[in-house]
Structure 1
Amino acid sequence: MEIKDKKVLVLGLGKSGQAAIRLLEHFGAKITINDGSPKEKIAHYDEYINKGMEVIYGGMPDELFERDFDFVVKVPGINYHAPYVLRLKERGIPVLTEIELGYQVARPQHYIAITGTNGKTTTVSLLYSILKHANKKAHICGNYGIPYCDVVMDERLYEEEGHDIVLEMSNFQLLDIHEFKPQVSSVLNLTPDHLDYMDSLDEYYASKMRIYENCDQDAIFIRNLDDKTLTSYLEKIPPHNKIETFSVHQDADCMLKDRTIYYKGEEVITRDEIKIVGLHNISNIMVAIIACVHSNVSLKTIREAISLFTGVEHRLEYVTEKNGVKFYNDSKGTNTDAAVIAIKAFEKPVILLMGGHEKGLPLDDVRALNDHIKYLVTFGEAGHRFACDMHHPHTYEVSHMKDAILKANELATSGDVILLSPSTSSFDEFNNMGERGRKFKEIVKQL
């Protein structure tokens, strides 16, 4: 990709916007930055100005979107249906994601791309752990929280090739890919989410299928045989590359039989050797096994790395035990399907903490598990609706997450599990789910 002297508009800052600017500056682009924040909240504003970049802040002026740019880099948080984004596309100006920019600049690498509604972070974390255990030149990035453009710059991937790039990809990051094509990809599952961003559930599901649309015929798509919704979308939008399957319920290339995971008939690891809880994590492990086999890692090394893996922060993360009560942080559970998965991971009813920013998701699937919930404590902006719609006989509604923790602790007796699985996003009280999870752990440890 030729960047020198190209006129580039970067829409939005944050981590991905700043990483894109770093790469664009290195290759000599003429950069215009637009961010809706006031000047005092623009990170590195003076530095950008001193380097000759144009910074337009505080809004999206109409005249900006009538100017000529060679291409635009848009951060994922800006809605791709925004009128000014559509205007750029209608004028034939390419709009790229930060991942697409890094991909077009980097020399050939081995890309493993993972999307789906739930389990992405656990899967890519395990993948990365296995590859590092195998002494591979591996890097983890994308929706995981590390921009790919930073990896390209830090590892000089514009000069080096053949590294293993493990990418967690949200549907936001898939909407504006152009050339990106991984050697290995998977859509883990499909359940309702992001109805506050997408026009419809159908559009959300279809956006996930873009992960394999550019793939070569010899690329590998890892298919979940257990997800009916995913199966229907794969029939509508079929991959044209090689397929390997996994299942926890039926025969597949990677399958569970008698509490043991097998890959193409060869034993990999037993459930007793695995530290992370829940059948859903067996599915995540299977994806990692298949992907790492296709990165030339032996099953022996894969088994060793899986047995050492203790999970991901904010995803069914064990926090501590107080007076016989165990606390689990599932702050990354930002939709109802994640809550269902978390509740089912435990063998006895839990004290469930749920609430946060209202996303409008129906609660039928969580309500169906009311007999797996000993007490329900709701909080935040969505707390009142959750309390009403769950129809749980032992429900307590409080204002803030801290109040929910204190109430749950008051209700708990030895042997109980207190589970934070909010079922929605964090933006009513926190900046992101990570801040929410860290605050949960801080409060719990102070009890």
Structure 2
Amino acid sequence: MNKLEEFPYQRILVLGLAKSGKAAAKLLHRSDKKVRVNDYKATPADPDVRELEQLGIEVVTGGHPLEVLDDIDLIVKNPGIPYHNPIVQEAESRSIPIITEIELASRLVKHDVIGITGSNGKTTTTTLIFQMLEESHCPAQIAGNIGNVATEVAQSMTPNETMVLELSSFQLLGIETFQPKVAVLLNIFEAHLDYHKTMDHYMGAKANIFKNQNEADYLVYNLEDPHVCRMVENAASTKVPFSTKQKVTHGAWCDESYVYFKKERIIAKQDIVLVGQHNLENILAAISAAKLGGATTEGIHQVLTTFSGVKHRLQFVKNIKDRSFYNDSKATNILATSKALSAFDKPTILLAGGLDRGNDFDDLAPYLTNVKAVVLFGETAPKLEKIAQSVGIETIEFVDNVKHATQKAYQLSEPNDVILLSPACASWDQYKTFEERGDMFVEAVHTLE
């Protein structure tokens, strides 16, 4: 297994356990570093804690005592821990560098990294790129925010494998030398402001994906997103735009009938299985990155004629008595739900709600044209009710959870309806993850008759 080489830090605090923290701690230990782990919620009896301690790693649980920073050269921080956390602020006051495990993983990879970020579409685009490389017989591994811990994947990679890496803004805040061969910037929309506080800070985090690139590297970016275009103006990398609205001979684009990369016709639009205008943007980004990573047109074509979506992202679940059920639980913000709604021209029953991050939902209103009813749950239900009323939706129901929302939506539905879980909110008011929320929906659909 690969180990860290020429890594200048010796005494390292892993802040936050979870999957990425555990993997980082084990990697650092194997790389002969002195490792300490600190997790607020963990207890000494937790299996992960006991496993690390059996390896000889010090683990401090139940709080964040400032003493854990003593004699520390570097912190590997769990991405979910905010920078206003007192222990993080104390570390910054002591000028201790803070990274995420993405930085560690990048130092293990011997071949190219393709990094993907944006407010929406990351998982779909990452999966498309990976499958396009696989179908083209280009060795690759997929990791990052998609669910596979990057340091775990990187330890077992061979020197000729490309890492396809989904990256959140939280992860990108903690990099030093990370330099993907191909960086993909899909879009920017107001998101995670409870963490970042300002749009400028959020955009700055996303821009880290290309900050270490040079002209030998590639930056695939959305030509139709004004935020993105402003962000990439001074990038040192070779820019490769994609556009659904105009011809770009040095990137990916489409006309009414076909999709192209530069001057090459890739596929007829009618042959693409994945639905939705927003997914066309993801497809153009994926084609660009895959081509730059060595994928063949044949491999790309094969993927686009068979790939119908990733789990929890406009995932078709089932058709029951001519009602189509779609799981879009990964839609944790307004833009994602807007794009999901735009994918359908049939009467739609929308299941929405979740964690209240303080934003309103006015931007959702123009996309509710085909919505005949809404079923609401979670903290934001009253705000969503207000928007639904403002556009004239008469059928508005409140329920306790996603299971009950699914049952209620089915009761309200008629043949030819779409029943869409697309919450427009994070899940944490009721569920540990959006996956848990989506799984409840899928399970509830399969109990219907």
TM-score, normalised by the number of residues in structure 2: 0.94
**Does the 8 Å CA contact 2:44/2:50 hold for their aligned counterparts?**
no
State the shift of 1:301 in Å. 2.2
Residue in 1 that maps onto 2:400? 399
Cα distance in 1 between the residues matched to 2:13 and 2:303: 42
SS of 2:75's equivalent in the other structure is strand
Say which of 384, 387, 391 aligns to 1:386.
Answer: 384
**What aligned pairs does 1:222-233 form with structure 2 within 5 A after superposition?**
222-233=220-231
Cα deviation per residue 1:213-248 (whole Å; 9 max; x = unaligned)? 00021111112111122223334xx21111111111
Measured in 1, the distance between the counterparts of 2:299 and 2:54 equals 50
- How does 1:87-106 map onto structure 2 within 5 Å? 87-104=90-107, 106=108
1:84 to 66, 82, 87: 87
Change (3 A) 1:335 1:43: farther
Candidates 227, 243, 247, aligned match of 1:247? 243
Q: Which moved more, 1:191-200 or 1:175-184?
A: 191-200
Q: Give CA deviations for 1:141-172 in whole Å, capped at 9, x if unaligned.
A: 011111111012233xxxx4232110100000
Equivalent position amino acid for 1:109 in 2? H
One-letter amino acid matched to 2:17: L
Match of 1:116 in 2: 118
Cα separation, 2, equivalents of 1:177 and 1:102:
11
Confirm whether residue 71 of structure 1 aligns to residue 74 of structure 2: yes
Which residue, out of 51, 58, 71, partners 1:54? 58
How far apart, CA to CA, are the structure 2 residues paired with 1:52 and 1:41? 16
SS of residue in 2 equivalent to 1:320: strand
Q: 1:5 to 1:328 in 2, by over 3 A?
A: closer
The Cα of 1:132 is off from its aligned counterpart by: 1.0
CA distance in 1, matches of 2:314, 2:91: 41
Q: What is the identity, as a one-letter code, of the residue corresponding to 2:410?
A: N
Could you tell me which residue of structure 1 aligns to residue 39 of structure 2? 35
Distance in structure 1 (CA, Å) of the matches to 2:400 and 2:109: 51
Give the drift of 1:5: 9.0
| Contact kept? 1:351, 1:416, Cα under 8 Å | yes
Residues 1:259 and 2:257 aligned together? yes
- Whichever residue aligns with residue 422 of structure 1, its letter is P
SS for the counterpart of 1:301 is helix
Where 1:371 maps in the other structure, the secondary structure is coil
Q: Which amino acid aligns with 1:410?
A: Q
Give, as a single letter, the amino acid of the residue that structure 1 aligns with 2:219: F
1:418 match: 419
Match of 1:145 in 2: 147
Distance 1:234 1:362, change over 3 A: farther
CA contact under 8 A between 1:112 and 1:164: conserved in structure 2?
yes
For 1:220, give the aligned amino acid: Y
Identity of aligned residues (%): 37
* 1:3 Cα deviation from its structure 2 partner: 5.4
1:296 to partner: Cα distance = 1.9
The aligned amino acid for 1:337 is L
Check if 1:183 corresponds to 2:177: no
1:170, 1:353 → 2: CA distance? 25
Measure how far apart 1:86 and its partner are. 2.6
C-alpha distance 41-389 of structure 1, shift in aligned 2 (>3 A): farther
Which moved further from structure 2: 128-137 or 1-10?
1-10
The residue matched to 2:83 in structure 1 has which SS? coil
| Alpha-carbon contact 1:225-1:246 (below 8 Å) kept | yes
Q: SS at 1:117's partner residue?
A: coil
Quote the Cα distance in structure 1 between the aligned partners of 2:167 and 2:42.
29
Equivalences, count:
439
Matches within 5 A, 1:8-23: 8-23=12-27
Change (3 A) 1:38 1:149: closer
Which residues in structure 2 correspond to 1:158-307 (within 5 Å)? 160-235=158-233, 238-252=234-248, 253-307=251-305
Kept after mapping to 2: 8 A contact 1:5/1:28: no
TM-score, structure 1 normalization: 0.95
User: Does the CA-based 8 Å contact 2:136-2:298 persist in structure 1?
Assistant: no
Q: Deviations over 1:166-196 (max 9, x none)?
A: 0100000110100000110111001111011
**1:407 to 1:213, Cα distance in 2 relative to 1, 3 A:** same
Shift of 1:308: 2.1
**1:92, CA displacement in angstroms?**
2.5
Indicate conservation of the 8 Å contact 1:335/1:361, yes or no: no
